[in-house]
Structure 1
């Protein structure tokens, strides 16, 4: 079951929602839901989302092609965002559209931006360190070509 594609996507979505849920509950019960605490909690939540997606991109890109891991990461982040935006406000004692459509869509844009930025940074760090799938493949090819003895051609 762990090898199936939907399992990785679901676990990622649940983990991203758990980050949001913990942040909302800490702000609600620990700081009396003041505006300053909510703003700081949102910043922490978006930073953690970017950090988690960057770390996952860094790990996954080392062993698989981007065409294999990028859709999993994208759908997991999308599912996590939908659950966060639609069900997350109920944890804070609010509703998704309580502050209007502008705040709702602002949260979607912020979440998307942090998810994309975190994924790109994680992948770029792997490429920079030559740990990604393509760099490793090229290193293996280079090693294989330099290890073979040169063929002697007789005339």
Structure 2
């Protein structure tokens, strides 16, 4: 159990850490400047998507695609919930202080950009033929392409 969920938990913590760092930068560098806050927030979301590219590449290389989608999807949703519900406390505000609409937008932006990054990572993996299915087909072709075993004498 630990071997399966520990990597997903570490991915979730890494994505949440990116969000916390961005919130701290906003809090100390762009206190009241709305333009800087929006710019830093956008760069943080792009960073989350960029982090998902190598993570999806690495994870997809080792596991079947259904497991990759499930584990990374769960990690992204957990990281997003942490970023949306706990992250605002790092900034010094309450999570729902600006309304529920902002919370939903943050959730969908976070999940959407994470999904886009994961898709890019998985597409690169499949393009190179390094994904789990391509590798199993390669092993199958190598095994079948060799001389067949000698049959039983009759």
How far did 1:32 drift? 2.3
- Bigger mean CA offset, 82-91 vs 33-42: 33-42
User: Please, which moves more after superposition, 25-34 or 124-133?
Assistant: 25-34
Q: Distance in 1 between matches of 2:120 and 2:109?
A: 16
Q: Could you tell me how far apart the structure 2 residues matched to 1:8 and 1:150 are?
A: 41
In the alignment, the residues of structure 2 paired with residue 23 and residue 73 of structure 1 have an alpha-carbon distance, to the nearest angstrom, of 22
Residue deviations 1:58-79 (CA, integer Å, cap 9, x gap) = 0111121112222211111111
Equivalence for 1:96: 95
The 3 A distance-change label for structure 1 pair 145 and 109 is: same
**Take 1:135 and 1:5, find their aligned partners in 2: how far apart are those partners?**
22
Query: What per-residue deviation string (whole Å, max 9, x for no partner) do you get for residues 88-146 of structure 1?
Result: 11111111111112211111111111111111111111001111111111112122222
Cα distance in structure 2, aligned partners of 1:18 and 1:89: 13
* Pairing 1:81–2:70 present: no
Q: Is residue 27–residue 33 contact of structure 1 (8 Å, CA) maintained in 2?
A: no
Q: Which residue of 2 aligns with 1:23?
A: 22
Indicate the RMSD between aligned Cα atoms, in angstroms. 2.0
TM-score, normalisation: structure 2: 0.89
Quote the Cα distance in structure 2 between the aligned partners of 1:126 and 1:25. 34
Alignment partner of 2:96: what SS?
coil
Match of 1:53 in 2: 52
The verdict on how the C-alpha distance between 1:150 and 1:11 changes in structure 2, with shifts beyond 3 A counting, is closer
Structure 2 runs not aligned, ≥5 long: none
How many pairs align?
A: 151
Greater mean alpha carbon deviation, residues 96-105 or residues 117-126: 96-105
What is residue 67 of structure 1 aligned with on the other side?
66
Counterpart for residue 145 of structure 1: 144
In structure 1, what is the Cα distance between the partners aligned to 2:59 and 2:11?
Answer: 13
Relative to the length of structure 1, the TM-score reads: 0.88
